[in-house]
Amino acid sequence: MQLHLTPADEAFRQEVRDFLRDHLPPAMARRSRIGMHPPHQDDRTAWNRILNARGWAAPAWPREHGGTGWTPLQQHLFETECRLAHAPELRWQGLKLIGPVLCAFGTDAQRARHLPPILNGDIGWAQGFSEPGAGSDLASLKTTAVLNGDHWVVTGQKLWTTEAQYSDWGFFLVRTAQTEKPHQGLSMLMLDLRSAGVTVRTIPMINGDQSTAEVFLDGVRVPRENLIGEPGSGWAQARFLLGNERTSSADVHKAMADLARIRAIASIEQRGGRPLIEDPAFVRRLAALEIEVQALEWSVLRVLTQAPSEHPVGACASVLKIRGSELQQGLSELAAEALGPRSLRVYDRAAGFADPDGDPLWHDQTPGVRVDQLYLRAVTIFGGAREVQKNIIAKLAFGL
């Protein structure tokens, strides 16, 4: 595969850089750079609206539904530049998960109602697939939806519903029929989280934050028209969605920004009277990770551009998910090591940004490093656990 930026691609990248320079508020970029989980909701909304005003909120969507019509390479350049400039990460559940599902499987009425507020960041969405006892084995989920007149009545419990506590709506995988093959009785339902019978309970995380939640559904009445596609078609939609989720959880753009962060820390941090970046042992580790990130970038581009491969795209997406998530963990560990004991000083939302000790890296780097590292313990689990991805590769790529 040859990767050459044409003059048109170079001009495109410059256009994105100019836009970011002119429209991304520095204070917002700083909050994003120091890596909170979950990111500041107000920043996400504000940045989403800035992008939407330019028509850039959902580059990958079909053009007729609000996408940009950019090539896969242009989308990649855009995401890379946004990450390197520390633009806030947008709410992916709407823009990258349910939005594309509605574009592909929704009715005109569902698209007309839900796509514009997703594009503008007006409505936050949460993904309600996993349950206690149904994570990797998703088809065994037990939450039911029973049709009663014009409503589905939903009963059950969801677990790890990320950001449900900040969301207005959820897309839930539910059982609408008991079938011999469990996945054939599943459907995807859009549910207003303010409905009677919905209880959201946040889950404290290892990094001290609360980014995910349990959702209890107790006889929740959902209008019949909120089901996507035909009853029983939820598995096809879920597979479509999970394929997208897996490719984006490789998050090569974050890895590229993390490399820049480590370099910035190591240029200031001192070891034995010299900047850490001059330490040969440290630089060897950084270079090894950099090579891996570059290899991942090329692999992502191969998938995005549908370069010929002897393996099916599903297997490639699983490879990207494994490599991308392991790399994110490696990078966050190196960043924490580079900071040494000071990485233990985590940002306290309530206390704000004050720096009592004059740490030269506090303003731009320190607060989010350990928070990020601890959060990323989960990246080899969510979006499909590593061992399960290996099973998929074994089956799809090698017929085992």
Ligand X SMILES: Cc1cc2nc3c(=O)[nH]c(=O)nc-3n(C[C@H](O)[C@H](O)[C@H](O)COP(=O)(O)OP(=O)(O)OC[C@H]3O[C@@H](n4cnc5c(N)ncnc54)[C@H](O)[C@@H]3O)c2cc1C
| Three-state secondary structure call for residue 218 | strand
**In terms of CB distance, is 204 or 340 closer to ligand X?**
204
CA–CA separation, 19 and 56 (whole Å): 11
CB neighbours (10 Å) of residue 219?
11
Stretch binding ligand X (CB under 6 A), from 50-58, 142-150, 251-259, 374-382 = 374-382
Distance of closest approach, residue 99 Cβ to ligand X, in angstroms: 15
Choice from 38, 88, 135, 368 touching ligand X (CB under 6 A): 135
Helices and strands (DSSP H and E) totals, the chain? 13, 10
Exactly one of 20, 46, 153, 388 binds ligand X (CB under 6 A); which one?
A: 388
Told to check if 277 binds ligand X by CB under 6 A, we report: no
Residue 385 as a binder of ligand X (CB under 6 A): the answer is yes
Stretch that binds ligand X, among 16-24, 73-81, 216-224, 375-383 (CB under 6 A): 375-383
In angstroms, the Cα distances linking 111 to 22, 101, 232 are 32, 10, 20
Q: What are phi and psi of 339, to 5 degrees?
A: -80, -20
Which residue among the candidates 131, 245, 269, 297 is catalytic per the annotation?
Answer: 245
Among 110, 157, 162, 237, the residue binding ligand X under the rule CB under 6 A is 162
Distance (Å, whole) CA 230 – CA 105: 10
Which CB, 90 or 286, lies closer to ligand X?
90
Nearest 10 degrees: Cα torsion 31, 326, 385, 382: 0
- 338/378 with CB nearer ligand X: 378
278 is annotated as an active-site residue: no
Q: How far apart are CA 147 and CA 294, in angstroms?
A: 50
Cβ atoms of 33 and 85 within 8 Å: the answer is: no
Strand partners, 227: 189
From 83-91, 127-135, 283-291, 299-307, span contacting ligand X (CB under 6 A): 127-135
Contact call for residue 212 and ligand X (CB under 6 A): yes
Kindly give the pairing relationship between strand 125-128 and strand 169-175. parallel
Q: Is 140 in the site for ligand X (CB under 6 A)?
A: no
127 touching ligand X, by CB under 6 A: yes
Q: How far is the CB of 305 from ligand X (least distance, A)?
A: 28
- Can you tell me the distance from the alpha carbon of 334 to that of 375, in angstroms, rounded to the nearest whole number? 15
**How far is C-alpha 242 from the chain's CA centre?**
12
Q: Is 378 in the site for ligand X (CB under 6 A)?
A: yes
Minimum separation from the CB atom of position 150 to ligand X (A)? 27
With binding defined as CB under 6 A, does residue 381 bind ligand X? Answer: yes
Q: Which stretch binds ligand X (CB under 6 A): 43-51, 129-137, 256-264, 329-337?
A: 129-137
SS (HEC) of 213-281: EEEEEEEEEEEHHHEECCCCCHHHHHHHHHHHHHHHHCCHHHHHHHHHHHHHHHHHCEECCEEHHHCHH
Residue placing its CB nearer to ligand X in the complex, 159 or 268: 159
Which of 107, 136, 267, 309 contacts ligand X by CB under 6 A?
A: 136
Take residue 12 and report the two structure tokens written for it: 């495109």
Residues 6+ apart with CB under 8 A from 354: none
Residues in the interface with ligand X (CB under 6 A) total: 19
* Minimum CB distance to ligand X, residue 144 (Å): 17
Is position 202 an interface residue for ligand X (rule: CB under 6 A)? Answer: no
Site for ligand X in 173-192 (CB under 6 A): none
Helix, strand, coil proportions of the chain in percent (round to 5)?
A: 55, 15, 30
Closest alpha carbon to 142 in 129, 153, 151: 129
| 172 touches ligand X (CB under 6 A) | no
Which of these ranges, 26-34, 226-234, 355-363, 383-391, lies near ligand X under the rule CB under 6 A? Answer: 383-391
What number of other Cβ atoms are within 10 A of residue 69's Cβ?
A: 11
Binding site for ligand X (CB under 6 A): 127-130, 135-136, 160-162, 212, 378, 381-382, 384-388, 391
- Cite the active site residues: 245
